[in-house]
Amino acid sequence: MSTQFATAQQSTLRSAADSLGIDIGVAVDDNLLQNDSTYRNVISEQFNSVTAENGMKMETVQPSQGNFDFSQGDRLVQFAQQNNMSVHGHTLVWHSQSPNWVQNLSGAEMEQAMVDHITTTMNHFEGDVDSWDVANEVVENGQLRNSFWLQGIGSDYIETAYSAARQADPGADLYLNDYSIDGINSKSDRYYQLAQDLTSQGLLDGMGFQAHLILGQVPGDMEQNLQRFADLGLDVRVTELDVRIDMPASQQELQQQADDFERVVNICTNIADCSGVTVWGLRDGDSWVPDTFDGQGAPLLYNDDYSTKPAYDAVLAALGGSQPPPPTETTEPPGTTEPPPPSGDCSAVIEVVNDWGSGWQANVSVTGPTDGWTLSWNWPGSQGISSSWNADITESGSSVTASDVGWNGSIASGQTQQVFGFIGSGPAVEPSVTCSAG
Ligand code: XIL
């Protein structure tokens, strides 16, 4: 059946985004990219676009004047090409993470250094980086930010930067990018002016909205705001999405977070010229948020053990995808069908939702009635559980038991709930499970 085929095809963020023709991107940490194969596998399976979290910033690329170091960017580009992903470049002209040497220049010297940085970097990545945040965070309090760039070069530095970028790689899409411009406000109004100005000179292709959001605070006019930039003839893009929560995060807050992510992705899919959504990191523990916003965290789609959060399911749903259906029942010849379990029994199914070769993720659902459950199964081979969530697990040889952790114990008669999940080792399997209630 075609719907089944479609469902099976769109069981990852990537396949769902591919079928919509948009990017689902992630900010990539160079260290993890080099050292963590699960990180690489999850990213290549779930995302079709990458951005260097830090590896293409000026302090990394040109630590001293004239000495360029593209090693981090090259690693990311190679990974992207091996996995058929697009690369969104970040960033060339920013007041932060810029080396001291450039901040100590002024006037014509600083302008030349800026142009050289743009030209050399974009020439190096020409054909490999599809789009660039040329200037990042250049507005503050409704006016041009009083950065060392503005002070050193004067207010035409932005136009100079975009002209240099256009010349350096005419094939790359040139973006502006900032935070707190997701809704309509004085900051996004100033960007609207700047975007009109650059667009009228043919120097701008896209507007990036970082969307570093606070739980429950997706601006009500975010779609209208993105649409007004799209109406200038620009692509719009959510470039650094995360939704931070006061720690510790409750189940209810994680659900609210899922709604917030879903809303933002829906806004992008509602706008014809939205090129995609990039999340600013893979797992909660990878995020910049806890280091930057005191007491806040858990802003991303994955837990630290690579299990998915409710926000992941919400993004997948917003992209029109869904988790793979439970394994199809084998059809028994007439007469040999097993009788239905006597009423009063619970039952359970293990479903593999992700398999990246070196590991796999399974979700487990239980059908009630039960007021507390204990599941047991046997591994057919060398399988094991490397981590799990929302269940107490005991493994002994090849036999496993898993029981509820209280809040997920009660399931009404005939209701099915996904109750826990785990990361498996060895070949992925979906063994049959015995459920005992109570
Ligand atoms: C952050 C990175 O995530 C951190 O690892 C780094 O220490 C600081 O920068 N806006 C941006 C991003 O444009 O470059 C920032 O990234 C987050 C805010």
In short, whether 54's Cβ falls inside 6 Å of ligand 1 is yes
Mean pLDDT across the chain, nearest whole number? Answer: 93
Q: Please name the residue whose Cα sits nearest to atom 1 of ligand 1.
A: 288
Give pLDDT, residue 7: 40
**Using an 8 Å Cβ cutoff, are 80 and 38 in contact?**
no
pLDDT at 51 over 50: yes
Q: Are strands 131-136 and 23-28 parallel, antiparallel or unpaired?
A: unpaired
**Using an 8 Å Cβ cutoff, are 315 and 329 in contact?**
no
Q: Please name the residue whose Cα sits nearest to atom 3 of ligand 1.
A: 288
Best of 288, 292, 300 for a ligand 1 pocket test (most atoms within 8 Å of beta carbon): 288
**Using an 8 Å Cβ cutoff, are 278 and 327 in contact?**
no
Work out the average pLDDT over 85-98: 98
What is the whole-number distance in angstroms between the Cα of residue 201 and the centre of ligand 1? 30
Distances in Å between the Cα of 100 and the Cα atoms of 148, 185, 276, 411 are 11, 33, 34, 60
What is the whole-number distance in angstroms between the Cα of residue 30 and the centre of ligand 1? 13
Give pLDDT, residue 272: 97
Give pLDDT, residue 5: 43
In short, whether 147's Cβ falls inside 6 Å of ligand 1 is no
Work out the average pLDDT over 277-296: 98
In short, whether 31's Cβ falls inside 6 Å of ligand 1 is no
In short, whether 136's Cβ falls inside 6 Å of ligand 1 is yes
Token couple for 223: 């779609």
Can you list the domains of the chain with their CATH numbers? 7-318 (3.20.20.80), 347-437 (2.60.40.290)
Work out the average pLDDT over 52-60: 98
Confidence of residue 301 (pLDDT cuts 50, 70, 90): very high
Confidence of residue 360 (pLDDT cuts 50, 70, 90): confident
Give pLDDT, residue 2: 40
Looking at 8-57, which runs of residues are DSSP E strands? 23-28, 49-52
Q: Would you tell me how many other CB atoms lie within 10 Å of the CB of residue 54?
A: 16
Please report where in the chains the tokens 């709930």 appear, as a residue: 417
Which comes out higher in pLDDT, residue 333 or 71? 71
Confidence of residue 355 (pLDDT cuts 50, 70, 90): confident
Cα–Cα distance, 258 to 282 (Å, whole number): 15
Q: Please name the residue whose Cα sits nearest to atom 15 of ligand 1.
A: 53
Give pLDDT, residue 243: 98
Give per-residue pLDDT as tens, 204-225: 999 999 999 999 999 999 999 9
What is the whole-number distance in angstroms between the Cα of residue 328 and the centre of ligand 1? 45
In short, whether 192's Cβ falls inside 6 Å of ligand 1 is no
Enumerate residues 6+ apart whose C-beta is below 8 A from 205.
131, 173, 174, 175, 234, 235
Confidence of residue 90 (pLDDT cuts 50, 70, 90): very high
137 is catalytic: yes
pLDDT at 248 over 60: yes
Report how many helices (DSSP H) and strands (DSSP E) the chain contains, helices first: 15, 22
Range of weakest confidence among 52-56, 269-273, 356-360: 356-360
Give pLDDT, residue 61: 98
Token couple for 371: 């007021």
Confidence of residue 287 (pLDDT cuts 50, 70, 90): very high
Which comes out higher in pLDDT, residue 24 or 346? 24
Please report where in the chains the tokens 């796999």 appear, as a residue: 360
Q: Give the total residue count for the chain.
A: 438
Give me the phi and psi of 355, to 5 degrees please: -145, 110
Angle at 294 between CA 292 and CA 297, to 5 degrees: 75
Range of weakest confidence among 198-207, 337-346, 389-398, 409-418: 337-346
240 is catalytic: yes
Work out the average pLDDT over 249-254: 97
Work out the average pLDDT over 30-53: 97
Residue 422's beta-bridge partner residues? 362, 388
Best of 54, 60, 291, 293 for a ligand 1 pocket test (most atoms within 8 Å of beta carbon): 54
What is the whole-number distance in angstroms between the Cα of residue 389 and the centre of ligand 1? 30
Atom of ligand 1 minimally distant from the CA of 291: 7
Q: Please name the residue whose Cα sits nearest to atom 16 of ligand 1.
A: 53
Q: Which of 111, 137, 223, 262 is catalytic?
A: 137
Give pLDDT, residue 1: 37
Give per-residue pLDDT as tens, 130-186: 999 999 999 999 999 999 999 999 999 999 999 999 999 999 999 999 999 999 999
Give pLDDT, residue 82: 97
In short, whether 293's Cβ falls inside 6 Å of ligand 1 is no
pLDDT at 3 over 50: no
Confidence of residue 333 (pLDDT cuts 50, 70, 90): low
Give pLDDT, residue 364: 93
Q: Which of 53, 111, 223, 240 is catalytic?
A: 240
In short, whether 287's Cβ falls inside 6 Å of ligand 1 is no
Confidence of residue 338 (pLDDT cuts 50, 70, 90): low
Calculate what percentage of the chain has a pLDDT beyond 90. 82
Give me the phi and psi of 404, to 5 degrees please: -65, 165
